[in-house]
Amino acid sequence: MDLFEHQAKRLLAGYGITTPIGETARNADQAGQAARRLGASTFVVKAQILAGDRKKAGGIRFASTPTEVEKAAQQLIGSRLVTSQTGAVAVPVEAVHIEEMVRIAQNLYLAITLDKSTGQIVMLASNRGGEEIESRAGSNEVVIERIPLTIEGPRLSGDFEGLAARIVSDDRLRMGLVNTMRNLAGAFIGLDATQIELNPLAITPDSEIIALDAKMTIDDNALFRRPDLDKLRAASKSPFDPTELEAQRYQINYMLLDGDIGCAVNGAGLALATHDLLVDAGGRPANFMDIRTTATSLDIAHGFSLILKNPAVKSIYVNVHGGGMQRCDTIAEGIGIAMRRSGRRIPLVIHMAGNNAAFAATVLKNNGVAYFAAGDMADGARHAVTSAKKEAA
C-alpha cells in the first residue's frame, strides 16, 4: 500500500522524524484557511499524488499569501499530472498539502528498502538529495552509500554512525543524522513498511534536519494486524480504481487491464505466466487476479464477481494449482457461488491441478457451473481466446 506524502509524514512524525508543519486541503477554500492558520511568510502548495518528480510537472507551487495559496490550490485540485514516474497516464489531483517553506542549506537523501537481489533490508544515503537522484546516481555527480540492516528483536540495527560519517563531516550534524537514521529504522519496523524514502532530507541554516518529502509503502500482508493503517487504504487509493480496493478487502490482488479475457489465478507468478500464454494465443487479459492463500470461498466469490461485472469480458480463464494452503475445491466453491449470484452466461475455461483438483470438478458440477475443462495451461489459454473471439463476433 503506497501512502500519500501527507500520510507518510504524519506517521513518521510519530517516530521522531522532523517534518514541516502543514495541513491538507481538498478545495481552494480549505487551502486558504490552512495557510491563514499556518501564518507563514512563504508557502509551498504540493499536489498529493502517488508519484514523484512533481515539481517538474507543475505539481509543486510557491505562494506568498493565503490568497495565492487558494489560487494555486484551485489550479491543482481537479487537474491531472504526468510525471516521469506516472508514465503516459495522467494522474488526478484530489488534494494538496500546504506547508511553510523551509530554508535549505543542503539537501540529503535517506531511504530504507528491501534489496530484491539479496532479500536484505538496506539503508541508502547520499549527501546530494533532491530531484532526479535516481537518474543522477549512475553518474559521478551523486554517490549513494549503503549499509545492510539487521533485525534484532523489535529493532533494526546497523552502522548508522559509519554511514552518517560518510554523508556529513560536521560533528553536530552527524549526531543529528544518526538520530534520524535510527528513528527511520524504527518507523520501518514499527509500520511494517517495505520502503521509506526521505528526499530531500534538508539541513537548514540552523542545522536542523527536516524531511521535506516522504514516500512510504506498507506491506499489504501485514495490514490484518494494523487496523489503524488499514484505514489509510481507502484514502490512499484513487477513486478511479474502486475494484482494486474492493478486491483487497477479500484477499484478492486485482488490477484492471484493457483486454477481454477475464483471469482468475492463484499465485502472482502463475498469473503472469497465464497472461503470457493468452497473449501468445492471440488474446488479451482483461485483468490481473492473484487469489491469496488466505482467501476463503466467500472471498473468492467476491473476487470472481469483479470479473463477471466487467462488460468487456467475453470469456474467463481460471488457472489454478492447488497447494497445501489453498485447495482447488475452495476456489471451485467460490466460483460456484459467484456464478449463481451473477446469473451471467459466459464461456468459462478452467484448468485445475494439485490439491483436491478432482474433488473441485465435483464441486463445480454440483453448483451447476458449465465450463470447458482444459487438459493443460496452454490448452486452456487457446480455448479461452477462441471463446472470446466467438463472443465478440
280-291 pLDDT, tens digit each: 999 999 999 999
Per-residue confidence (pLDDT) for residue 391, from 0 to 100 = 93
Q: Which of 190-194, 212-216, 236-240, 248-252 has the lowest mean pLDDT?
A: 236-240
With a cut of 90, say whether residue 324 has pLDDT above it.
Answer: no
pLDDT tier at 134, thresholds 50, 70, 90: low
Percent of the chain with pLDDT over 90: 78
Q: What is the arithmetic mean of pLDDT over 151-177?
A: 94
Residue 384 has pLDDT above 60, yes or no: yes
Residue 109 designated active-site? yes
Whether the Cβ atoms of residue 144 and residue 126 lie closer than 8 Å to each other: yes
Mean pLDDT, residues 368-373 taken together: 97
The residue ranges of every structural domain in the chain are: 1-19+103-240, 21-101, 242-392
Q: How far apart are CA 100 and CA 208, in angstroms?
A: 15
> Is 208 one of the annotated active-site residues of the chain?
no
State mean pLDDT over 94-111.
96
Please tell me the distance from the alpha carbon of residue 321 to that of residue 355, in angstroms, as a whole number: 8
Higher pLDDT, 288 or 227: 288
Average pLDDT over residues 261-271: 95
Q: Which of 20-34, 136-150, 349-363 has the lowest mean pLDDT?
A: 136-150
Superfamily of domain 21-101: ATP-grasp fold, A domain (3.30.1490.20)
Burial of 239 (0-12, 13-18, 19+ CB in 10 A): exposed
Note if the pTM is more than 0.75. no
The stretch 90-114 carries a mean pLDDT of 95
Q: Does the pLDDT at position 132 exceed 90?
A: no
Residue 217 in this model has a pLDDT that exceeds 70: yes
Q: Specify the residue for cell string 491538507.
A: 24
At residue 237, does pLDDT exceed 70? no
- Structure-model confidence comparison of residues 246 and 333, the more confident one: 333
Tell me which residue has cell 486541503.
Answer: 25
Indicate whether 87 pLDDT > 80: no
| pLDDT > 50? residue 239 | no
- Residue 336 has which C-alpha cell? 460456484
Average pLDDT, whole number, for the chain? Answer: 92
Of 109, 250, 254, 317, the catalytic one is 109
The per-residue pLDDT for 240 is 42
- CA 282 vs CA 157, 276, 316, 386: distances in Å: 51, 10, 15, 9
248 or 375, greater pLDDT:
375
Residue 323: per-residue pLDDT: 82
The CATH code for residues 242-392 is 3.40.50.261
Mean pLDDT to the nearest integer, 163-184: 96
Q: Which of 5, 70, 197, 244 is catalytic?
A: 197
Beta bridge partners of 109: 126
Query: In terms of DSSP bridges, do strands 91-92 and 96-100 run parallel, antiparallel, or are they unpaired?
Result: unpaired
Evaluate whether 1-19+103-240 and 242-392 have a shared fold.
Answer: no
CATH 3.30.470.20 fits 1-19+103-240, yes or no: yes
Helix axes 227-236, 242-249, angle to 10 degrees: 160
Residue 105 pLDDT > 90 = yes
DSSP string, 180-216: HHHHHHHHHHHTTEEEEEEEEEEE-TT--EEES-EEE
Please enumerate in sequence order all residues whose Cβ is within 8 A of that of 19, keeping only pairs 6 or more positions apart, or say none: 9, 12, 13, 210, 211, 212, 214
